[in-house]
Structure 1
Amino acid sequence: MSITQSIEVAGWDTRLCSQKPGIPRTAGIIRTQGARGDGGIIHHELQTNKHVTLQLLWEEYREKNPDGYRYSRFCELYRGWLLAQECVLRHPHRAGEKLFVDYAGDTIPVHNATTGEVTPAAIFIAVLGASSYTYAEATWTQGLADWIGSHLRTFEFLGGVPDIVVPDNLKSGVTKACRYEPSVNRTYEEMASHCGVAVVPTRPRKPRDKAKVEAGVLVVERWILAALRKRKFFSLAEVNQAIQELLVRLNDRPFRRREGSRRSLFESLDKPALRALPTQRYEYGDWETHRVNIDYHVAFDHHWYSVPYQLTQQEVEVRATAATVEIFHRGLRVASHARSQVPHDATTVNDHRPKAHQRHLEWTPSRLVDWAKTIGPATAELFDRIMAGKRHPEQGYRSCLGILRLSKQYTTQRVEAAARRAIALRACSYQSIKSILECHLDSQAIEPAAEPKPPLNHPNIRGSEYFDTGEEPTDQGK
């Protein structure tokens, strides 16, 4: 049927359209129920193709009817036809364009079979604008993770994604409500971008903006929640299974004031217009803003993750998924780590450290001893004794490195001789080696240790045998 024929059948020109029996005329427009043989054709053209406008339809009409209505009258008649549909077509929606989302005011109690504790489950509801096709599910919370997960499951239920998602100003999705430029949560915005969907929140205190989802909430509460009011649930999965069973019946239920059902309109209007789902499912991630600590690490969930040391004291953004932690600076990713579940620990990439710190961490007891062996065996033994004398070997690193530096100032032969003297004197330290070298004591012969003197033998000196017998002392030997 051509546009001209649609206009004629719509009854907009009483000279071209005969009176339909049983249907009264009002202001030159036939009041109908939106069937395809009337003004519903014009409305269907606008719904099914987002590029079709009333201007285009009017021009096509005028091509066949040069003496037909002017554009202003054409639009006036169309608006009148919409009003004639009462609440059925109050807000025209293009096919596949908008998905309205919100939570129901009521909840469903879930019982713990062991403790008897009752937890209320929130009810997420999504309604397509053109067909009123509805999706609903229960979640434990209305938090961000559940909010994002419900969107993803809705898209999968529909088998595609719409052009626009229209949420209410829930804090999980909208961080700052504003009539002109609302601020959308970073994770929510990222999910929408991944799926190719625009997020357009409703205007604050504008109930008409969310009339579609409010009607959907009311329908779900009446036909699903009310039907489940006497059932006792013991798990969230059990609740969702019951909701899905009733959801099929709801979408198949015939409309009262128009032909078809939510499902039939979805199949003919919304489904063909939906865009394909992304090839990879969006992976949920939390975003946080942090300032890099002086040790070039950022704290997230009680764990520390490194960034390049040049970003110390800079503000960065952290995105954390279940498996990874990514860190961004001015929109560029500067670090990526596997997420750790170990609290109060650190995950560090060696390249993030300054060169001096990298060299410091390359020091190990065995490596220091190997360096000392290039000077001589006495120096290697000295290093072993220095580190063994500390509670932790790392406490002796600086002493050993200081001695290695002395080998650049003095010959290796002198340092080796100084090490032998220090070992003989049991003065194993950097300061001892330095003093020996400065005082040229390394060139002096090492005096052999004096042999111990034999023990004194005297009547007044009691041996261990005396204490073993327990005898009382006598006057003998005085």
Structure 2
Amino acid sequence: MVKYRDILRLHAQNVSQRGIASSCSTSRNTIREVLKRAQEKNISWPFESSWTDHDLQELLFPEKHASSDFRRKPDCEWIHKELARPGVNLALLWDEYALTCRSENAIPYSYRQFCRFYHTYARKTKATMRIKRKPGELLEVDWAGQTMTVNDRLTGEEVPVYIFVAALPCSQYAYVEGCLSMETSQWVAAHVRAFHFFGGTPRIIVPDNLKTGVTKTSRYEPVIHAVYQEMAEHYQTTVIPARVRHPKDKPSAESTVGHISTWIIASLRNQTFFSLQELNEAIQEKRTAFNTKLFQKKKGSRYTAFLEEEQFALVPLPAFPYEIATWKKATVQYDYHILVDHMYYSVPYDYMKCQVDVRVTSTIVEVFYHHFRIASHKKQTGPTGQVVTIMDHMPSDHKKYMTFDANYVLEWGQKAGPSSYTTVQRILASYQVEKQALKACLGLIKLADTYSIDRVENACQRVLMYTPRPTLKSVQTILKTGSDKRPPEAPIEKESKQSTTNPYGFTRGADYYGGKTT
């Protein structure tokens, strides 16, 4: 409350505004406004002693005592829900609240009072406050510094187990599990199980700059591991690593790691485990107790805060979980195949001698060139050295060679004509070995390329008139001599020589030796 009595009294004693401000612990702007209002209301010292500061405020600033019908209290439940949405803050909500009040002839509270109403409401009725962290926005992940162990049943050797920790900053709800290594496959698999534990995915994942997740560290443009980035895209989230040596960028994970070290790792220190599954079952029990433990300074627990404040804001899970894949590089050979895990897979022949990226899962092998998928195969199992070839990946000449069989030449014969089809059938039937017959049929097809299909059809028709067993040679002869151009019914004229009788018997004369008679 402003000390109105003291301000007017000191002003009547000719004390400067600076001195009044120092004495009453009030700003000079407030003192200036009080003196201005007192002059307008014709109120000066001395006045009735029964007047209090509250009475003077009602006289000088009646708008501050407007009835509840004109001053509208903000809807804190609406504010709490709106703060969960991306980009929304208290300043924006107060501006909208003030515009609504003025449009309805109501007096809004100041921004300071607006924030005070909400903070009071959030402290009393909500387990968390949405000021610094929005629900469903972040998931902070990390490896715990301490490790646990699993004993080998046969040798008794202690195998280290690394503890993966994921925490949602808004509700502090945590996921914990043990992994046998800190490799990328284990790191990504732990994320997938964490997403299914939460029942959704956040908008941003904040890890450390560990090598399993970040290929190249950078303050502005870090390079994320290909498998890690692919997993994030599958779940419609993004990875933004914390700055190097800045653990405060993910304080919830760091804090949760400390709690986990005490309430899970330390609490299980006297137990012996012989398998990772057995260890994770014990971790799950401790994790449930940790998440349901009541807060000390506010109502509820991490679990209730997650259900009430954060679960609804998570992005829904995709229809199928992410399948972990490994990425490799390969060079396409001259036979347009690549070697992956001792198996050969075809690639379009246009990419010969190009370096490609290969994505390998348990069931599929995908080939990418400059981030564009150019081939996909079902992963082969069994003996090594198997070759998988797709016909569309082959050059046209190779396709013809692969598809050249009896059906191919018969189909060609049907298209060429009935005589050609009959000729092909009889050539195929005349050889004991199909490859020999196919070679002869290939020669017949080549004749059609050299002459024409019509001429080959006519030649086959003429050959079938002379013999029931046509050969490639007979068709070639007819085409070379041009006999196929003559009508089939026209007989071939032969020059007849007049026979002369020789009275002297068999005598060789000029006709025999090519000379001329005189």
Task: Using the TM superposition, give the Cα deviation of residue 375 of structure 1 relative to its aligned residue in structure 2, in angstroms.
Answer: 7.4
Task: Using the TM superposition, give the Cα deviation of residue 96 of structure 1 relative to its aligned residue in structure 2, in angstroms.
Answer: 1.6
Aligned to 2:223: 183
Counterpart of 1:122 (choices 162, 166, 171) is 162
Task: Using the TM superposition, give the Cα deviation of residue 313 of structure 1 relative to its aligned residue in structure 2, in angstroms.
Answer: 2.4
Aligned to 1:244: 284
Aligned to 1:54: 90
2:272 is paired with a residue whose SS is coil
1:149 equivalenced with 2:194 (yes/no): no
**Quick one: structure 1 residues 212 and 91, their matched pair in 2 at CA, closer, same or farther if it must change by over 3 Å?**
farther
Q: 1 or 2, which has the higher helix percentage? A: 2
Which amino acid is the alignment partner of residue 151 of structure 1?
A: H
Aligned length: 365
Task: Using the TM superposition, give the Cα deviation of residue 337 of structure 1 relative to its aligned residue in structure 2, in angstroms.
Answer: 1.1
The answer as to whether partners of 2:410 and 2:424 remain within 8 angstroms in 1 is: no
Counterpart of 1:101 (choices 138, 141, 159) is 141
Aligned to 2:390: 349
- Deviates further, 309-318 or 89-98: 89-98
The answer as to whether partners of 2:80 and 2:130 remain within 8 angstroms in 1 is: no
The Cα offsets for residues 396-423 of structure 1, whole Å up to 9 and x where unpaired, read as 9989967996998999999xxxxxxxxx
Aligned to 2:340: 300
The answer as to whether partners of 2:151 and 2:158 remain within 8 angstroms in 1 is: yes
CA–CA distance in structure 1, aligned partners of residues 317 and 428 of structure 2: 69
* Structure whose alpha-carbon radius of gyration is higher: 2
CA–CA distance in structure 2, aligned partners of residues 115 and 397 of structure 1: 66
Counterpart of 1:64 (choices 94, 108, 118) is 108
Aligned to 1:267: 307
Matched ranges for 1:63-462 at <5 A: 64-65=108-109, 92-342=132-382, 343-363=384-404, 374=423, 384=433
- RMSD over aligned Cα atoms: 4.5
CA–CA distance in structure 1, aligned partners of residues 435 and 299 of structure 2: 93
If the length of structure 1 is used for normalisation, what is the TM-score? 0.63
The Cα offsets for residues 2-55 of structure 1, whole Å up to 9 and x where unpaired, read as xxxxxxxxxxx9x9xxxxxxxxxxxxxxxxxxxxxxxx9999678534343132
Task: Using the TM superposition, give the Cα deviation of residue 214 of structure 1 relative to its aligned residue in structure 2, in angstroms.
Answer: 1.3
CA–CA distance in structure 2, aligned partners of residues 239 and 155 of structure 1: 20
The answer as to whether partners of 2:139 and 2:205 remain within 8 angstroms in 1 is: yes
Task: Using the TM superposition, give the Cα deviation of residue 276 of structure 1 relative to its aligned residue in structure 2, in angstroms.
Answer: 1.9
The Cα offsets for residues 300-327 of structure 1, whole Å up to 9 and x where unpaired, read as 2222211221222234332222111122
**Quick one: structure 1 residues 46 and 223, their matched pair in 2 at CA, closer, same or farther if it must change by over 3 Å?**
farther
Which amino acid is the alignment partner of residue 89 of structure 2?
A: T
CA–CA distance in structure 1, aligned partners of residues 400 and 337 of structure 2: 19
CA–CA distance in structure 1, aligned partners of residues 158 and 407 of structure 2: 61
CA–CA distance in structure 2, aligned partners of residues 133 and 375 of structure 1: 78
- Deviates further, 340-349 or 220-229: 340-349
- Structure 2's unaligned 5+ residue stretches are 1-25, 31-75, 100-106, 414-421, 464-472, 478-518
CA–CA distance in structure 1, aligned partners of residues 405 and 88 of structure 2: 74
The Cα offsets for residues 372-407 of structure 1, whole Å up to 9 and x where unpaired, read as x957989977774998xxxxxxxx998996799699
The answer as to whether partners of 1:368 and 1:383 remain within 8 angstroms in 2 is: no
Aligned to 1:21: none
The answer as to whether partners of 1:179 and 1:203 remain within 8 angstroms in 2 is: yes
The Cα offsets for residues 99-129 of structure 1, whole Å up to 9 and x where unpaired, read as 1011112222222323434322221110001
Task: Using the TM superposition, give the Cα deviation of residue 364 of structure 1 relative to its aligned residue in structure 2, in angstroms.
Answer: 6.2
1:106 is paired with a residue whose SS is strand
CA–CA distance in structure 2, aligned partners of residues 287 and 208 of structure 1: 33
Task: Using the TM superposition, give the Cα deviation of residue 153 of structure 1 relative to its aligned residue in structure 2, in angstroms.
Answer: 1.2
CA–CA distance in structure 2, aligned partners of residues 385 and 161 of structure 1: 63
The Cα offsets for residues 198-251 of structure 1, whole Å up to 9 and x where unpaired, read as 211111121211222111111111111112222221222111111100001111
**Quick one: structure 1 residues 352 and 179, their matched pair in 2 at CA, closer, same or farther if it must change by over 3 Å?**
same
**Quick one: structure 1 residues 398 and 272, their matched pair in 2 at CA, closer, same or farther if it must change by over 3 Å?**
same
The answer as to whether partners of 2:83 and 2:130 remain within 8 angstroms in 1 is: no
**Quick one: structure 1 residues 121 and 399, their matched pair in 2 at CA, closer, same or farther if it must change by over 3 Å?**
farther
**Quick one: structure 1 residues 207 and 399, their matched pair in 2 at CA, closer, same or farther if it must change by over 3 Å?**
farther
Task: Using the TM superposition, give the Cα deviation of residue 256 of structure 1 relative to its aligned residue in structure 2, in angstroms.
Answer: 3.3
The answer as to whether partners of 1:286 and 1:320 remain within 8 angstroms in 2 is: yes
2:250 is paired with a residue whose SS is helix
Which amino acid is the alignment partner of residue 362 of structure 1?
A: T
